[in-house]
Amino acid sequence: MSWRIDVAVHTPAHAALGDLLSYASDRALAPGTLVRVPLGRREVLGVVWRSALDEGEVHAAPPAPDASAMTLKPVGIALDGLAPLGEAWRDLVMFTARYYQRSLGEIALAALPPQLRDLTNVQLSRRLKRQAPPAQAPADHTPQAMQAPQALPVALTQEQSEALARIEAGSGTFLLFGSTGSGKTEVYLRAVATLLERQPDAQALVMVPEINLTPQLETRFKARFDARFGNGSVVSLHSGMTHPQRLASWLAAHSGAARIVLGTRMAVFASMPGLQLIVVDEEHDPSYKQQEGARYSARDLAVWRGQRENARVLLGSATPSLESWHQSRPAAGTDSGGRYQRLAMPSRVGAGALPTVRTVDMNLQPGKTVISGVLLDAIGQRVARGEQSMVFLNRRGYAPVLACGDCGWKSECPHCSAYRVFHKIDRTLRCHHCGFAERVPRACPACGNLDIAPVGRGTERLEEHLGELFADVKRPDGTPVRIARIDADSTRAQGALESQLAAVHAGEVDVLVGTQMIAKGHDFRRITLVAAINPDGALFSSDFRAPERLFSLLMQSAGRAGRDAAYLAAQGTTAEMWLQTHHGQHPLFAALRRHDYTSFAEPELEDRRAAGMPPFAFQALLRADARTQEAAQAFLTAASAAADVLEGADRVTRYPAVPLAIQRVANVERAQMLLESPSRAALQRLLAAWQPLLHALRREPEGKGVIRWLIDVDPHSI
């Protein structure tokens, strides 16, 4: 008997091949089974899926009525040694594909570890028999300064106890609104511990926004749980791991051997049959939104997955996203309130006070001042007392532009509509968009002038400038001031980030300079002063989310100061946050000075309600990449006209096509069109019905020159 098997394979949405491909098998295969199947000239990994024709059941293929009937290709091999992927996991993948307008196989295969695609049954059997190694270095190999003494639970504050009691008594999604240093991580640890003790087969997923936050979190979780549940009970999943590490962690989670999975946004797709709790730390962070390929929001999928699997979802942040804040609003009058339960923890652990926020009016400073005299004096006082300071500038490199003062030449990228950044450390001009780099010219390429100079400042130049300013300042032991820089350039080498963070924790750094990599999530115990050098750029951005991101980043930065109340008391000092700004009276800074997220969020929500913007409306972007800007915009304009005939098109506003802010990257012109609707369902129906028209449009004259198109649902940047 021959069976027809419908399989999800990796076919990108723009390929228009459909979600499922049919194959023949000599035996029935359960949905969720991993198989190898022929696709063109290759053999690829696929997932046996439910067929739309057989209501989810694998069924026997009827004999062909005549020779002209289509002959199905046979399935290669099935990875029988691996338990089929569960129905809940397949539902998550299907929802993601439908909601974010991608193909089913593209989501399903991207969610699996890459090495799984190449294993035979024999190799897989060996992997399953082998003891799964830890995904990261064992705890005793972690730098001493990064090992927090967390093996024994600490005493809970009243706010932590109340939050845990409400989590234990309730269900659904919770927003843990806790100030920086209020002990949100301890709440996560206790919630996970309670779950695992109560249910022997339960699993928990803990997500962080960035890879650099996983080492310290993994150290704390391993110290707390390894002794109780075994060395393999905590595993990590993120893109910084090797393929064998990712496979070992995924197999441990899929089999249930791993009780806790720590990871970045990709971990939301981990196969966890016993999932009962999902924690999304720093839920406001834009890093949870994927910006390549399938542009999903891991935070939103975590909430959906919790609802599907009846698992509690705990969203934690000191500066929640306005969407989550709105969804956790209490009931008032005719408003029944949001879908989330809000848990407030406004106090810092150990009676520590939030840092005092001071602003420096740069309008009163001499021209071209980088760091004001009062801020330099404040940092110098901290150095003299043996304390640490952090200087935050969200721009890496030495200078954003290299320019000629005679002819006006600037270091433009020949392949992008952007400038190449000057990196002094290796004397290169490097484009941060396409990666094109070349040596700094000895003279101006346009006029031959030898006097070409950097314009503006990045972290590399700021580090150098601070070194010059503090050249004569001594530490308490008489040694020179030690300045370190942490950004994407300084941490490029394997293990560089871990060693640099360890140096900061050990007190080997006096002044830490960095980008947003150091501004959130890190538990620096000796930093007592944080300074933001140039935060004004986002105040007047055309992106309506820019103020929200700026407030969050600054408040998170402030939270790195004064996290250890005992250390502050011993030093006889207080924590401070310094802001150098030309707009000190801006309402955003006024709310920041009071550490009052509510006074920032509520007016911002009212402005969005009046303007009909998220979370009171729903958006999507249709983007087109083409060889010319005219071709990209022509495709988008034709697509908008084609949508006129679709049912419900009148409920979705389609704005004119415009170039992106950086319209050319790697010699590809980019344009976009914004779609907006007060109804999520209406927007989704239009997008689903639009897909066939967009595929057909690629074959029309309007589609000539278009390289690719994509749909971005719930975009984070417009």
Annotated ligand binding at 407? The verdict is yes
C-alpha 17/C-alpha 423 separation (Å) is: 45
404 marked as binding residue: yes
- 444 carries a ligand binding annotation: yes
Classify 623 as helix, strand or coil: strand
Torsion on CA atoms 674, 675, 677, 679, rounded to nearest 10: -130
Question: For residues 274 and 202, is the Cβ–Cβ distance under 8 A?
Answer: yes
Token readout for 42 is: 């290759």
Under DSSP, the state recorded for 336 is: -
413: annotated binding-site residue?
yes
- Convert 579-615 to b/e letters by CB count within 10 Å (16 or more is b): bbbebbebebbebbbebebeebbeebbeebeeeebbb
Question: Among the residues of 72-157, which ranges form H helices?
Answer: 87-99, 104-110, 121-129
- Using CB atoms within 10 Å of the CB of residue 394, give its burial: 0 to 12 exposed, 13 to 18 middle, 19+ buried: buried
Q: 434 among the known binding-site residues?
A: yes
Tell me whether residue 19 is annotated as binding. no
447 has binding-site annotation: yes
Interatomic CA distance for residues 412 and 402, integer angstroms: 9
User: Which residues make Cβ contacts (< 8 Å) with residue 50, sequence separation at least 6?
Assistant: 6, 31, 56, 57, 90
Distance CA 696, CA 702 (A): 10
96 annotated among ligand-binding-site residues: no
Angle at 523 between CA 518 and CA 526, to 5 degrees: 95
CB 613 within 8 A of CB 650: no
Residue in 556, 517, 554, 512 with CA at minimum distance from that of residue 535 = 554
Q: Burial letters for 619-647: b for 16+ Cβ neighbours within 10 Å, e otherwise?
A: bbbbbbbbeebebbbbbbbbbbebbeebe
Q: Which residues are annotated as a binding site for Zn(2+)?
A: 404, 407, 413, 416, 431, 434, 444, 447
Q: Which residues are annotated as a binding site?
A: 404, 407, 413, 416, 431, 434, 444, 447
